[in-house]
Amino acid sequence: MTDRFIRVALAGIGSCASSFVQATVLSRDSGPRMAGVMHEHIGGYRLGDVEFVAAFDVDGNKVGQDLADAIAVAPTAALNHVPVPLTGVRVRSGPLLDGLDGNLSEMVHPHPDCASLTAADVTAALRQSRAQVLVCFLPTGSTAAVQAYARASAEAGVAFVNATPEPVANRAELVELFVSRGVPLLGDDLRSHLGATTLHTALLELLQSRGMHVANTYQLNVGGNMDFYNLADPTRSRSKQISKRRALTSAGIDSDDVAAGPNGYVKYLGDRKVCFLRIEAEGILGTPVSMEIRLEVEDSPNAASVVANAVRIARTAADQGLVGVVDPVCPFLFKSPPAGLPESEALRRFQHFVEKSARPATAYTGAARS
């Protein structure tokens, strides 16, 4: 029988972290079925079994605060849906590196300790906290910082969930590091639970299943949180554009010339994201079919639903001795996994992993590495 709790560390205490922390608190007090959570148990773990043991950020206004207080500090845009009691976890300074390059430097002032910290300091903190899973919520474009946390996680023997589009699961050197250290890795670029990419790829698969030819499509996204503020800088959004196109390519279309957000920062939207989606297709006798959809979601809770899966998968993978990229689940949880799949096949493999993990007498070995 495994330890009942999942000891989780967070890197980047912004809107997504806020919603995820709130969701874990709600899960502890809710009944057996919680809206937006696909499985009450994964590998024997409930979402409420998450226990936060470490937190890292560079914002001088968040460092030193209890995690419960830090998740509400501006410029975090996530709404407070659930009162979060004090956790006893103080936010630590993390390595600055390229974390605040671009627009974010205008909004966030780093703690003075951050400039001198390295991945080795993160490794030491993870070991001290006895963390089992590290979730990386750093800003898009922070390639050096994200990869520093990934290396620190591998060296500490802590499973890593890369919610960012910066390459970790897609970088051979880092994958080999996780394999050599015997640690699970999940990534890259977390999907929203029911977001623009999930809806877009599902619709494309539906049209193709009917034998229709997709001629043109676009996906335009605007929002008002710090993610969109950061991505308004073209030098920071490149990896996100690549990630979204990879997801569309996995859905079976040529995405080289497809416009697929993010496309603008609209402050008054706050943590809401609005997607404008159009698909043009051709049916029998060349007949045209087109659709336009406006999707509006609260952005950060939409991500928290997926992290609720990813963290429990990461802990379950470690329990089962899986190392490196956990291939069966990544195409469903992430936009840019090492090998993408159509939506329905990604869901089937994810569900199969969860079902096999629910049988304690039969360990899942499909992604095990020697």
Tokens of 94: 């993390």
Determine phi and psi for 343, rounding to 5 degrees: -55, -50
Round the average pLDDT of the chain to a whole number and report it. Answer: 92
Closest CA to 31 of 17, 43, 47, 42: 47
List the chain domain ranges.
Answer: 6-191+301-357, 196-299
- Pairwise CA distance, residues 138 & 11, whole Å: 6
- The dihedral formed by the CA atoms of 23, 26, 32 and 37, expressed in degrees to the nearest 10: -20
List pLDDT tens digits, range 275-284: 999 999 999 9
Determine phi and psi for 168, rounding to 5 degrees: -130, -60
List pLDDT tens digits, range 193-247: 999 999 999 999 999 999 999 999 999 999 999 999 999 988 888 788 888 777 8
Q: Is residue 154 within 8 Å of 147, Cβ to Cβ? A: no
Task: Supply the pLDDT for residue 359.
Answer: 59
In this prediction, residue 2 has a pLDDT band, given cuts at 50, 70 and 90, of: very low
Given the candidates 3.40.50.720, 3.30.1950.10, 3.30.470.10, 3.30.70.580, the CATH classification of the domain at 6-191+301-357 is 3.40.50.720
Closest CA to 273 of 302, 230, 231: 302
Task: Supply the pLDDT for residue 82.
Answer: 93
- The dihedral formed by the CA atoms of 326, 328, 332 and 336, expressed in degrees to the nearest 10: 50
Task: Supply the pLDDT for residue 305.
Answer: 95
Task: Supply the pLDDT for residue 246.
Answer: 79
> 256 or 288: whose pLDDT is higher?
288
Q: Over range 89-112, report the average pLDDT.
A: 95
Task: Supply the pLDDT for residue 32.
Answer: 65
CATH topology assigned to domain 196-299 = Dihydrodipicolinate Reductase; domain 2 (3.30.360)
Task: Supply the pLDDT for residue 363.
Answer: 36
Q: Tell me the residue type at 70.
A: A
Task: Supply the pLDDT for residue 259.
Answer: 77
Q: Over range 255-280, report the average pLDDT.
A: 89
Whether pLDDT at 1 is above 70 = no
Whether pLDDT at 298 is above 80 = yes
Task: Supply the pLDDT for residue 11.
Answer: 98
| Sole residue written with tokens 């329905």 | 344
Q: Over range 52-79, report the average pLDDT.
A: 97
Closest CA to 248 of 163, 180, 335: 335
Task: Supply the pLDDT for residue 238.
Answer: 79
Percent of the chain predicted with pLDDT > 90: 83
- Pairwise CA distance, residues 346 & 328, whole Å: 8
Q: Tell me the residue type at 191.
A: R
In this prediction, residue 3 has a pLDDT band, given cuts at 50, 70 and 90, of: low
Q: Is residue 128 within 8 Å of 153, Cβ to Cβ? A: no
Whether pLDDT at 257 is above 80 = no
Whether pLDDT at 352 is above 90 = yes
List pLDDT tens digits, range 13-60: 999 999 999 999 999 887 667 888 999 999 999 999 999 999 999 999
Task: Supply the pLDDT for residue 248.
Answer: 84
Task: Supply the pLDDT for residue 369.
Answer: 40
